[in-house]
């Protein structure tokens, strides 16, 4: 039952004083998130619905390439991290239990997944594998900022591939490239897949998925047929740069700020060697397993969507990520004919499987419309006195704030549902 009178959606007229990024301002104002501490955020019900939209898209595409979902712990023994040399990472949270055993809070799960694979994979017949999960990550971020864009705790989808050799790794990597391209396309975001360096992950090569927007902390270097992050571009012999001027083989390049929303790494044997993940090949010889690592941040995709699809009135969700398909606004007091008509439309939509948020609060039209535009559901339907007079439900498309032809108030339920579905499918 999603009636706004009883739904936890604490909208605000003003953004937090310290907020600079559009996504930070609007996600707080729209009642999607609330801060508990520095870099520590709670997802409120409507915000969590959007987050889980992303999760569902990612899960579907991971399953489509043969991924097997599991769940690994955040709290881990420190020993595997010491063996890989990553225990010294400054951003890694470290702690001790009551028996003084050293533990860490995982920021990624290469150590954990490799630990398990080392125990269970014995033969070349056990490979290849694609394992993934959605799990909380902890990171002692030195400068949390921009709402959910840079936090100390976040959910990430990380998947890991295990192969017999580099050729197998390249195949699994290509599968992830296709899956990630499909994920990004399904979210509706503008994005680039750019070459990147391997950083603290190590390995043989990497790509980042970047969503261009003003709040992005990263810079990407772009031209037709060329996309790289700044670090890779600086080391490309074809690229020249002087100050803000960048060229590729003499042709101008442009720089855009962007949010990193995903990354993929060819790890090689970076983790399998120190953690003893080996297999016996066809001849009985022991060989190291070749690995890849692939991450996506649902929260960053949500924030990037807010950044890319908002206006001065609020958020304008792409259809795939919207918390609700329809925002139904009732104008009229309880017991009036217009409220009764609005209740009937709500019941028709709800029973017809339409995901609808119903604003039947005791509030004025201005407040209701402002909250609807702030929340940004793709389709707004309004039922009030004018609807009774005209016989039509008023329709507004959130993207561009465009009015659309009204829907018949007295239509049979199936006819109304079909009309709403047709409108919905026409939206971006």
Q: Are 400 and 376 in contact (CB under 8 A)?
A: no
Supply 20's token pair. Answer: 């600079």
Q: How confident is the model at residue 231 (pLDDT cuts 50, 70, 90)?
A: confident
* Region(s) of the chain under CATH 3.30.930.10: 10-311
Helices H / strands E in the chain, number of each = 11, 25
Residue bearing the bigger pLDDT, 91 or 228? 91
Report residue 378: phi and psi, to 5°.
-60, -25
pLDDT tens digits along 354-365? 999 999 999 999
Q: 308, 211 in Cβ contact below 8 A?
A: yes
d(CA 12, CA 372): 12
pLDDT digits (tens, 9 = 90+) for 3-51: 999 999 999 999 999 998 999 999 999 999 999 999 999 999 999 999 9
What is the CATH superfamily name and number for domain 10-311? Bira Bifunctional Protein; Domain 2 (3.30.930.10)
pLDDT of 406 over the 90 cut: yes
Alpha-carbon distance of 368 to 136, in angstroms, equals 35
Identify whether the C-beta of residue 141 lies closer than 8 Å to the C-beta of residue 152.
Answer: yes
pLDDT recorded at residue 248: 87
- pLDDT of residue 349 exceeding 60, the answer is yes
Q: What are phi and psi of 368, to 5 degrees?
A: -65, -45
Q: What is the pLDDT of residue 233?
A: 84
**Secondary structure element (H or E) that encloses residue 280, with its range:** strand 278-280
> Residue 232 pLDDT > 90, yes or no?
no
User: In sequence order, what are the residues at sequence separation of 6 or more whose Cβ sits closer than 8 angstroms to the Cβ of residue 250?
Assistant: 240
In the chain, where does the domain assigned CATH 3.40.50.800 lie? 324-425
Report residue 391: phi and psi, to 5°: 80, 15
CA–CA dist 7, 26 (Å, integer): 18
pLDDT at 218: 85
- At 274-304, the pLDDT tens digits run 999 999 999 999 999 999 999 999 999 999 9
pLDDT mean over 58-81: 98
H-run or E-run covering 26: helix 22-29
Percentage of the chain surpassing pLDDT 90?
83
316-347 per-position pLDDT tens digit: 999 999 999 999 999 989 999 999 999 999 99
Mean pLDDT, range 412-417, rounded to an integer: 96
* Cβ atoms of residues 383 and 359 within 8 Å: no
* Range 324-425: architecture per CATH: 3-Layer(aba) Sandwich (3.40)
Q: What is the pLDDT of residue 195?
A: 81
- Structural tokens at position 146: 């921009």
Q: Can you give the pLDDT at residue 234?
A: 84
Write out pLDDT tens, residues 149-170: 999 999 999 999 999 999 999 9
Beta partners for 206? 196, 265
Q: State the pLDDT at residue 224.
A: 84
Half-sphere exposure of 182 (CA within 13 A, CB side): 16
pLDDT of amino acid 200:
54
Q: For residue 223, what pLDDT band results from cuts at 50, 70 and 90?
A: confident
- DSSP per residue, 283-312: TS-EEEPEEEEEEE-HHHHHHHHHHHSEET
* Residue 144 to residue 138: CA distance in whole angstroms: 12
Summarize the confidence of residues 302-320 as an average pLDDT. 96
pLDDT of residue 229: 84
Give the side-chain half-sphere CA count within 13 A for 395. 20
DSSP 82-144: HHHTGGG-TTSEEEE-TT--EEEE-SS-HHHHHHHHHHH--BGGG--EEEEEEEEEE---SS-
For the entire predicted model, the pTM comes to 0.93
pLDDT band at residue 202 using 50, 70 and 90 as cut-offs: low
pLDDT for residue 428 is more than 70: yes
93-96: strand order across its sheet = 75-77, 102-105, 93-96
Length of the chain: 428
> 286 to each of 124, 164, 276, 349, how far by Cα in Å?
10, 11, 11, 61
Angle ∠(132,116,57) on CA atoms, nearest 5 = 5
For the residues 173-184, what does the mean pLDDT come to? 96
């Amino acid at each position: 039952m999603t009636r706004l009178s009883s739904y936890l959606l604490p909208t605000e007229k003003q953004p937090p004083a310290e907020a600079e990024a559009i996504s930070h301002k609007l996600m707080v104002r729209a009642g999607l998130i609330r801060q508990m501490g520095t870099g520590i955020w709670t997802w409120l019900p409507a915000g969590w619905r959007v987050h889980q939209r992303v999760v569902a898209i990612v899960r579907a595409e991971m399953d489509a390439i043969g991924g097997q979902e599991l769940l690994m712990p955040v709290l881990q023994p420190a020993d595997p991290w010491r063996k890989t040399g990553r225990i010294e990472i400054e951003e890694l949270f470290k702690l001790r239990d009551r028996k003084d055993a050293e533990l860490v809070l995982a920021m990624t799960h290469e150590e954990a997944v490799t630990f398990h694979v080392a125990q269970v994979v014995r033969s070349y017949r056990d490979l290849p594998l694609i394992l993934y999960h959605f799990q909380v990550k902890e990171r002692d971020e030195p400068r949390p900022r921009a709402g959910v864009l840079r936090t100390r705790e976040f959910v990430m989808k990380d998947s890991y591939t295990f192969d017999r050799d580099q050729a197998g790794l390249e195949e699994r990597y290509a599968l992830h490239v296709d899956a990630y391209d499909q994920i990004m396309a399904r979210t509706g975001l503008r994005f680039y897949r750019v070459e990147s360096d391997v950083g603290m992950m190590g390995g043989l090569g990497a790509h980042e998925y970047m969503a261009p927007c003003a709040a992005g902390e990263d810079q990407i270097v772009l031209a037709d047929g060329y996309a790289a992050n700044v670090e890779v571009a600086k080391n490309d012999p074809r690229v020249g740069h002087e100050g803000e001027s960048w060229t590729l083989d003499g042709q101008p390049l442009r720089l855009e700020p962007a949010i990193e929303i995903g990354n993929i790494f060819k790890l090689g044997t970076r983790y399998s060697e120190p953690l003893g993940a080996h297999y016996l090949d066809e001849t009985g010889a022991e060989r190291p397993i070749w690995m890849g690592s692939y991450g996506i941040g649902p929260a960053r995709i949500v924030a990037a969507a807010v950044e890319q699809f908002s206006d001065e009135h609020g958020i304008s969700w792409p259809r795939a990520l919207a918390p609700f398909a329809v925002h139904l606004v009732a104008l009229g007091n309880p017991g009036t004919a217009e409220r009764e008509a609005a209740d009937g439309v709500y019941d028709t939509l709800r029973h017809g499987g339409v995901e609808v948020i119903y604003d039947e609060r005791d509030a004025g039209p201005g407040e209701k419309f402002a909250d609807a535009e702030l929340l940004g559901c793709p389709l707004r339907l309004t039922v009030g006195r004018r609807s009774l007079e005209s016989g039509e439900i008023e329709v507004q498309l959130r993207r561009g704030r465009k009015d659309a032809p009204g829907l018949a108030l007295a239509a049979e339920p199936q006819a109304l549902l079909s009309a709403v579905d047709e409108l919905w499918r026409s939206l971006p």
